[in-house]
Amino acid sequence: MDAACLNHRLTAGERREFDERGCFVVRNALPPDLVDRLEDATDRLDAANRSPGDTRPINHLDCIGYDDAFLELLDWPKTIAKVIDILGWHIQLYHSHVMVSPPLPEGYRSKTRRIGWHQDSGRLNLDLEGNPRPRVSLKVGFFLTDTSEVGRGNFHYIPGSHLRETAFPADESEEHPQATPICAAPGDALLFDRRLWHAGGRNRSDVTRKVVFFGYSYRWLRPRDDMTVDRYLADADPIRRQLLGASPTGGFGYTSPSEEDIPLRSWLVEHLGEEAVAP
Ligand SMILES: O=C(O)CCC(=O)C(=O)O
pLDDT tens per residue across span 28-76:
999 999 999 999 999 999 999 999 999 999 999 999 999 999 999 999 9
From 137, 145, 155, the mutation candidate for ligand 1 (largest count of ligand atoms within 8 A of CB) is: 155
| Predicted confidence (pLDDT) at residue 172 exceeds the cutoff of 80 | no
- Residue closest via CA to ligand 1's atom 4 equals 200
Domain ranges of the chain: 3-277
Instruction: Return d(Cα 70, Cα 61) in angstroms, integer.
Output: 12
Q: What distance in angstroms lies between residue 121's CA and the mean position of ligand 1's atoms?
A: 12
Class of domain 3-277: mainly beta
Closest approach atom of ligand 1 to CA 116: 7
Q: Measure the CA–CA gap between 167 and 158, rounded to whole angstroms.
A: 8
Ligand 1 neighbours by CB, cut-off 6 Å = 99, 120, 139, 155, 198-200, 211, 213
User: Ligand 1 centroid vs 42 CA: distance in angstroms?
Assistant: 16
Span from the CA of 234 to the centroid of ligand 1 (angstroms): 31
* pLDDT single digits (tens) 119-153: 999 999 999 999 999 999 999 999 999 999 999 99
pTM: 0.97
What integer best gives the mean pLDDT of the chain? 96
Q: How far apart are CA 246 and CA 223, in angstroms?
A: 12
Residue whose CA lies nearest to ligand 1 atom number 6: 199
